[in-house]
Amino acid sequence: MTFSTDIIHGGHIAIIKKAQRLGKLIIGVLSDEAVAGYKRYPLVPASERKVMFENIAGVYKVVDQKTLSYKENLEQYKPDIVVHGDDWVNGFQKPVRDEVVSILASYGGKLVEFPYSNDSKYKAMEDRARAELSLPDVRRSRLKKTLEMKGLITAMEAHSGITGLIVEKTKVYQDGGTKQFDAMWVSSLCDSTAKGKPDIELVDMTSRFRTIDDIMEVTTKPIIFDGDTGGLTEHFVYTVRSLERMGVSMVIIEDKTGLKKNSLFGTEVQQTQDSIENFCEKIKAGKRAQKTADFMICARIESLILERGMDDALERAFAFAGAGADAIMIHSRKKDPSEIFEFIEKFREKDKTTPIVLVPTSFNAVYEEEFKERGANIIIYANQLTRTGFPAMQDAAKTILENHRAKECDDKCMSIKEIITLIPEE
């Protein structure tokens, strides 16, 4: 049997007792990474979950299971029987079941399935666990923990409660495991665009904090906040305290001054880079202001955007890390990732540990695994939901205008029923 749970209840004990009657019971405990990808971030780490199962009477052995796929353990232990609830006959886990059936058939093993318990009190326990993940202290700490656990994490932009739910719930099954986003990016560009405002720090922090509240109210994943330039140092201190108190995990601020202009304009518009000394002081002030070790301040370097050269980018990166920045973001608007790769290589020669954040909007042909191999740690998909959502809505509006009715628009629409299933009941 394999378990992902960090809460053992009566339903688990009942199926364990049934399995024990079939022979010596080996239990596989899914890794933290596998559980985080499959359902939710575990409240109890894998090492402790193993101890829980080792102390259940009648369990012969407890082993690690690195992925949702059973393949590695089935090939190693060749059990006569695999026991599982019947909840994976259809739906998301069906490919995992199909693989188990195929491997068992190859050596004469069999699958035994028992009815899955849908007792409402067990669902209530899981709902309580999910609610705990949404609490500020728990949510804030998860970005650092996930980074330590996985080495590379991905974040997708969210600019409203419903886009937050899309990021929270979207999953795909690949290569014996599941893939989902680890965090959410609350972008000033997407937040401003959703409000029909220009991306020049026109939307004030009170309004932007309201967007965070809307997202946090219905989701559990860590949040990375786009802090633009951070504003005046005296103001940034209060921003840090507010974000930390809300449960945000990281703020990213860029080393520019004056009226904020989007980086994608590069040198086409006048943009002023802050001095190293001033920006270091802003970082230090932010770090002094925070109350916990969980909150992270990331320094975003605009040297490559503004064509100031690699040496300037590296000088700033080392200085900002030295000033206490918890992460460094390097940005580029070139489709060719060469300068990004060069920066990572040269930064890693001297600094092996400070996380590197990338936003591959322009250099988007590189796979996440290559970024990880080269030394990057956080990949942010900064505006794709906004950029795909607005053309779809514009197309729907044109279709109705052209046809003087809504029928031709039906095939473009998600059903209201499907949308409602994204929204929590409570």
The secondary structure element, H or E, covering residue 285 is helix 276-289
CA–CA separation, 363 and 338 (whole Å): 9
Burial class (CB in 10 A: 0-12, 13-18, 19+), 268: exposed
Map tokens 């970005």 to a residue: 143
The residue type at 391:
P
Q: 224 burial class (0-12, 13-18, 19+ CB within 10 angstroms)?
A: buried
Distances from the Cα of 225 to the Cα of 11, 86, 159, 235, 245, angstroms = 40, 41, 11, 16, 13
Residue of 32, 182, 191, 199 with catalytic role: 199
Question: If you count DSSP H runs as helices and E runs as strands, how many of each does the chain have, helices first?
Answer: 17, 17
CA distance readout (Å), 141 to 42, 159, 277: 13, 22, 29
31 with 46: CB under 8 angstroms?
A: yes
In whole angstroms, give the CA distance from residue 85 to residue 286.
Answer: 50
**199 flagged as catalytic:** yes
Alpha-carbon Rg for the chain in angstroms: 24
Task: Count Cβ atoms within 10 A of the Cβ of residue 167 and give its class: 0-12 exposed, 13-18 middle, 19 or more buried.
Answer: buried
Residues identified as active-site: 199
